[in-house]
Structure 1
């Protein structure tokens, strides 16, 4: 999640893309194309953009260049530009070697991509030495990367589906709170609604994913998910605005948040607190680049109070009342041996209610994240402690849900579904 827009455990893993089953015959087809590209998601641990150590990020394994070089990229629906660490003196071992690719093309300062105003960048595009189009990207954890715009061929599967001329950032320097951990990924795959995002450039009208809640295969699908066994999806419309607002990210997947329920009862907060204000602050974004779900201060305070009241005498809070896990999560407990069944009974469910009737229900072990020493923290955090003026629905609370981003009809579809079962039905290996 880029800082210009907003802000990314119970289970320590990440998602890797492997081979494909169905192949999109021609990525340049118009938006009414019917074929889809399906890839399995595998689980591993890797950090994400937010300042949580050893977090879970969703990553895709792609091939870039000619001959192809393998790259592990964080899948981020909160970012508009894909980028790779490019080989250099200070680059991590996993970097992309642009000099070894015969299809690599740097984008000059005179190119329309560089000369036209690009408001989607948090910092202005400039012209660097060598007539290169220079970009800087900054993120919510105060990390940043910079380099030059370029184009090359991207491949997402083993059967020849290519996306030639894909624009991305070839980054040669940056700063990060966790440089050693961040070096495990080669870069980031931007998937929001910006014109330079990978999904916009590739021309797919829809894409979906199912994030496994267990150590088994999930799914990433580019194209339409025409499967009867996935129906019905509950759709919530994307919010669109025409007037530019300083604190509203117009290319994010913004939906309408209507209520937060705890144990089926709405929090005691005014409905107006869920609406963006006159500056655009307070939008609600679906962001795969953010791990947990973050709420604006007043709503988080109400959830915290109610959750503590309902777990009093059941769970033992951490003794230090000033303890805040990684600066954003301060509802934490000491818990010994407890089963998932016990958690389902002991903990009140939290439901995120969206416009159009779509809901995300969080219960049991997904409400808590183990941070070591028998300590667990609530997987909802205070976005204002992150310096983010928005509600952010992270990928931890999207586990074992089919999530569809319908770009043509400007809506997001949700339904609870076993990702392991989806993988089997699509013929993917577990």
Structure 2
């Protein structure tokens, strides 16, 4: 065959393959879920040791359908945890009076299955506490630890999960492993209860890994009902100017480095226009792995290690001292710390609000991207705290990790509000772009 005919045939073949790929890509729609900010009861959720327990905790929740027939459940979205779990109703009449609509009923699901000890899922090395085997039942047991030192036990199980728009589109449900937790948790009438937690880190048993999702993103709104979670690859966020920072992974395993977390490189911190003179060694993990920077949707506020926090505190106090409505509480009560970690606090006159527009922004600088926290996201009104004639207490939403203590920088979801956050596992990076979430949700709804 003449060379020019061979070349023509190759070009035709490439064109056919390209159009087929485009058609396949176009036919794969991402899954779209509503992301809500909910006030949670103090003991509604179990916490891993690295998690913080807030008396007035706000969590991000998504709604899923689990089991056959499907049971609607509300789960907390947590990029800092691996194992998803559901609070399961008792299997017998004993204790059933404690069951509520927030529990999952495994006996009512025809597709529910316990995970046996011999299963590879029962040998996961990514969980903080490795699974154990119940010798009598030969079922795989898991344990979650609370921040107060108590723990909750349950069994590893599998069932089918129908997520967001996938159910409406008729897509087959995903069979995934999760913890079927048997412990009862306190609830309160003023909180929105949750049936469990959706683990979204990079561990083998996370929902992301089990669903083979190589990219997901979300936008956390400052309004409860305008957030969005997008699972899967999509070109929809192209209207956003995303800046990417690479995920950080040490060359070799380190004892205190969480290798399945979404870790990025923190290069510097700026308060207002002032670039803080923090040594690079303070912002980077040390030889043990302690000091990594994690993006965590399961933690409310942001925590900085002691030296970095001290620099931010000093500069923030210096720049806000001229503001008439703010009186540094530390001048009067040096020992006050909200939730034992937030001690950059102020007195604000009764009936007034902090001058949000005049507060200096706190900007976290990464390799290739930055996260600027300003306005009303900088100060949090401490519930129940009053001084003098009724002055309210407001605290900076950056906490001292050394006081908790945790050995890492943790970027919480409060500082991710109105920010498009994309987790791109294919290319090992996190993308950030400021955006109004209600506008983004509207655009996505129209485009889908």
TM-score by length of 1: 0.86
Q: Which runs of 5+ in 2 are unaligned?
A: 1-23, 387-391
User: In structure 1, how many angstroms separate the alpha carbons of the residues matched to 2:54 and 2:25?
Assistant: 38
- Which of 148, 151, 165 aligns to 1:144? It is 151
Q: Residues 95-148 of structure 1, C-alpha deviation per residue, up to 9 Å, x if partnerless?
A: 11111110000001111222x3x2212223211131110111225454532211
Deviating 4+ runs (over 6 angstroms): 30-33
1:11 aligns with none
User: In structure 1, how many angstroms separate the alpha carbons of the residues matched to 2:59 and 2:363?
Assistant: 23
1:265 aligns with 274
Matches within 5 A, 1:159-178: 159=168, 160-173=170-183
Q: Secondary structure at the match of 1:308?
A: helix
**Residue 119 (1) aligns with residue 125 (2):** yes
- CA gap of 1:31–1:273, structure 2 versus 1, over 3 A, is farther
1:393 aligns with 411
- CA gap of 1:228–1:222, structure 2 versus 1, over 3 A, is closer
Q: Secondary structure at the match of 2:59?
A: coil
Matches within 5 A, 1:95-244: 95-114=103-122, 116=123, 118-128=124-134, 129-140=136-147, 142=149, 144-157=151-164, 158-159=167-168, 160-173=170-183, 180=188, 184-227=193-236, 230-244=239-253
- CA gap of 1:415–1:141, structure 2 versus 1, over 3 A, is farther
Whether the aligned pair in 2 keeps the contact of 1:247 and 1:281 (CA below 8 Å) is: yes
User: In structure 2, how many angstroms separate the alpha carbons of the residues matched to 1:254 and 1:32?
Assistant: 31
TM-score by length of 2: 0.82
What is the CA distance between 1:193 and its match in structure 2? 0.3
- CA gap of 1:251–1:288, structure 2 versus 1, over 3 A, is same
Larger radius of gyration: 2
1:311 aligns with 320
Q: Which runs of 5+ in 1 are unaligned?
A: 1-29
What is the CA distance between 1:244 and its match in structure 2? 1.6
Q: Secondary structure at the match of 1:290?
A: coil
* Bigger share in helix: 2
2:422 aligns with 404
- CA gap of 1:197–1:419, structure 2 versus 1, over 3 A, is same
Aligned length: 393
Q: Residues 254-305 of structure 1, C-alpha deviation per residue, up to 9 Å, x if partnerless?
A: 0000001001222122111011001000000000000101000111111111
- Which of 342, 347, 364 aligns to 1:352? It is 364
Q: Which has the higher contact order (CA 8 A, sep 6+)?
A: 1
- CA gap of 1:32–1:305, structure 2 versus 1, over 3 A, is farther
